[in-house]
């Protein structure tokens, strides 16, 4: 080394030569000091300590960019745990430490079978920043994936539903993962040969990014556009994008390419509903993506249809085999428990389609099949299975609408207890459906105060979820909650609030009519009729001019109902005669208020004719009043 070089390098190599400074006058750490720090960090990561905090280390479970995971024992509670020790270059930041401990403690409040349980986080006397979690027997999802190969559809559905349930629970607690990818998903063996997906490492990548580290937020191929372009805008929608990327990878064997429209490999056999779901999750705009709860519902709905097709195919195959070989069994499923769960799912689906039939025999069959599904669903819910618990709550609520009111109330209460015990997130619409059903049952029992409370909760929850949920069934329940709440408001003479609820309900039913007029016409008519009553009542509290306008809009509502019900009655649906008669009587009263005697007379005469022909259950004094009006007008 030349003397000139030695002269320049000497102060840096000599730890005792004083602290050199850079051109800005700031202290520059010596090379020796930097090398020592490097050795300490390597030693920290490479050497296996005997203890971390109070936890006795057994072995290394894994190493990664964030640190080391040890299998350890908690001597105080005598249980196995996983201890993740964060690398010093991240842990040295006081801001990182404070945020890490605070948000890790928040994650400890998330209780879900699809999220690795966090016990606590701390910094020990040796300076280790570490996180204590449940020790999972699973392996990472990444180990199950093979280049260019998709997972079996049943496995992808099972794991996808678990991941979405885990994210739903975390998002309900305000936690954002920030790096959903196969390396952060543990797959454990579940009951009956199933697999359970568990999310781990919530927020760690995001903590590092916010602390100023060079590690980017999210994993390439799985991170959302907003994570790539602006890490400050990471939201729950970013997790949904990453979830969509994981689903796409499991179903196709490759990562999605950021392009519009999203392409699928030409040889892939991804069903159309799952393609649509992936496309929705991988939208470039965060607001266009579904919520994690919506992904759960969409995957569950598809899985139910898929299982039904498998069962039908199995029945056909069994029929052939039985004819050829005299076989006494028709389908091979892993275990009796799985078979029972599949059968319960099928009973649930079939009963749901039968319960709305006008045929009493079909409704009775629906009740029997709902009851037959209950024992299996109760068993799975008791194990803490979130999906089975939501299915159980739905079956209980559907059965409550068919059963006697007293039993229906008990069924709704059981549904709420099951949801609470399993820890189903409160932002899932199954809660709103439970409150809606119980509120309706309480209304039938005459318990108006309790009914009003449940219907208000249901309506509020549906309104909160409506911007992010685009399912017809959800919209139907949302409109029903508003309609039933409006009926309670009318009984309280709060006509203005009732009109607001009914405006929203009518708009929802109107949007559904285009897709299925047969299914949604009756509730749309009910909402229009009820809104006519609310507007009529509201008009009595308004000044003359606004009152006249409100009565005119009420007449429009009744006129729509009369037109539809007249067509229905003329087509032979005599059960619609009652509502037709009531709408005619309401419009008659409005015409009288407006001084439109000729129109009032026509409605009175038509109402009398409907009553005489079909004898619907209308109080006799009301019909007598109409007869007197006609006689008076004619004379």
Residue among 124, 179, 391, 427 flagged as catalytic: 179
CA distance 263 to 80: 45
Known active-site residue 14: no
CA distance 120 to 127: 16
Non-local CB neighbours of 289 within 8 Å, separated by 6+ positions: 237, 240, 241, 244, 280, 281, 282, 283
Task: Copy the structure tokens of residue 603.
Answer: 């409605």
Helix (H, G, I), strand (E, B) or coil at 506: helix
Q: Are 177 and 170 in contact (CB under 8 A)?
A: yes
Measured in degrees and rounded to the nearest 5, phi and psi for residue 514 equal -65, -30
Based on the number of CB atoms within 10 Å of its own CB, is 193 exposed (0-12), middle (13-18) or buried (19 or more)?
Answer: exposed
Radius of gyration (C-alpha) of the chain in whole angstroms: 33
CA distance 397 to 447: 18
CA distance 494 to 488: 9
- Bond before 261 cis per omega within 30 degrees: yes
Q: Are 65 and 184 in contact (CB under 8 A)?
A: no
Helix (H, G, I), strand (E, B) or coil at 57: strand
Based on the number of CB atoms within 10 Å of its own CB, is 287 exposed (0-12), middle (13-18) or buried (19 or more)?
Answer: exposed
Task: Copy the structure tokens of residue 108.
Answer: 């400890």
Residue numbers annotated as active site: 179
């Amino acid at each position: 080394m030349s003397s000139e070089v030695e002269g320049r390098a000497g102060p840096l190599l000599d730890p005792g030569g004083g602290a050199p400074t850079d051109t800005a006058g700031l202290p520059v750490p010596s090379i020796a000091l930097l090398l020592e720090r490097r050795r300490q960090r390597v030693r920290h990561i490479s050497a296996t300590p005997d203890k971390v905090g109070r936890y006795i280390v057994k072995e290394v479970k894994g190493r990664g960019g964030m640190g080391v995971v040890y299998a350890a024992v908690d001597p105080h509670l005598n249980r196995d745990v996983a201890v993740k020790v964060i690398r010093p270059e991240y842990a040295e930041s006081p801001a990182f430490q404070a945020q890490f401990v605070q948000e890790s403690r928040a994650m400890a409040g998330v209780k879900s079978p699809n999220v690795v349980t966090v016990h606590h986080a701390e910094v020990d006397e040796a300076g280790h920043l570490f996180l204590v979690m449940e020790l999972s027997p699973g392996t990472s999802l990444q180990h199950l994936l093979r280049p260019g190969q998709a997972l079996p559809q049943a496995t992808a559905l099972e794991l996808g539903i678990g991941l979405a349930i885990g994210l739903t629970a975390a998002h309900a607690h305000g936690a954002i993962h920030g790096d959903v990818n196969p390396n952060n998903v543990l797959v454990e063996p579940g009951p009956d040969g199933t697999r359970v997906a568990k999310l781990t490492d919530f927020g760690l990548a995001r903590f590092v990014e916010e602390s100023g580290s060079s590690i980017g937020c999210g994993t390439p191929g799985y991170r959302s556009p907003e994570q790539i372009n602006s890490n400050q805008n990471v939201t729950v929608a970013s997790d949904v994008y990453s979830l969509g990327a994981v689903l796409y990878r499991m179903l196709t064997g490759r990562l999605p390419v950021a392009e519009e429209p999203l392409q699928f490999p030409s040889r892939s056999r991804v069903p159309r509903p799952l393609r649509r779901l992936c496309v929705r999750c991988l939208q470039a705009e965060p607001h266009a993506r579904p919520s994690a709860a919506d992904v759960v519902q969409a995957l569950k709905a598809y899985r139910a249809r898929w299982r039904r097709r498998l069962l039908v195919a199995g029945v056909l195959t069994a029929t052939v085999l039985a004819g050829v070989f005299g076989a006494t069994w028709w389908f091979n499923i892993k275990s009796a428990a799985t078979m029972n769960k599949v059968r319960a799912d099928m009973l649930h689906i079939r009963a749901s389609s039968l319960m709305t039939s006008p045929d009493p025999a079909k409704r009775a069959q629906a009740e029997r099949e709902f009851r037959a599904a209950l024992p299996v669903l109760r068993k799975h819910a008791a194990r803490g299975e979130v999906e089975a618990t939501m299915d159980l709550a739905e079956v209980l609520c559907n059965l409550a609408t068919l059963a006697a009111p007293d039993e229906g109330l008990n069924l709704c209460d059981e549904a709420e207890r099951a949801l609470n015990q399993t820890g189903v997130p409160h932002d899932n619409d199954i809660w709103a459906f439970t409150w809606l059903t119980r509120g309706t049952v309480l209304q039938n029992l005459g318990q108006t105060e309790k009914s009003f409370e449940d219907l208000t909760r249901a309506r509020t929850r549906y309104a909160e979820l409506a911007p992010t949920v685009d399912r017809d069934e959800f919209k139907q329940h949302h409109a029903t909650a508003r309609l039933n709440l409006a009926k309670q408001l009318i009984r309280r003479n709060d006509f203005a609030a009732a009109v607001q609820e009914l405006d929203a309900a009518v708009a929802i039913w109107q949007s559904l009519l285009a897709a299925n007029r047969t299914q949604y016409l009756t509730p749309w008519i009910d909402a229009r009729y009820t809104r006519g009553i609310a507007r009529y009542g509201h008009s009595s509290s308004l000044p003359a001019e606004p009152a006249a306008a409100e009565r005119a809009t009420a007449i429009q509502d009744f006129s729509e109902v009369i037109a539809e019900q007249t067509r229905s009655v003329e087509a032979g649906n005599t059960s619609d005669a009652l509502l037709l008669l009531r709408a005619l009587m309401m419009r008659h009263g409005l015409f009288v208020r407006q001084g439109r005697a000729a129109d009032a007379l026509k409605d009175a005469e038509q109402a009398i004719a409907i009553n005489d022909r079909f004898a619907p259950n209308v109080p006799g004094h009301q019909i007598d009043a109409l007869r007197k009006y006609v006689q008076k007008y004619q004379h």
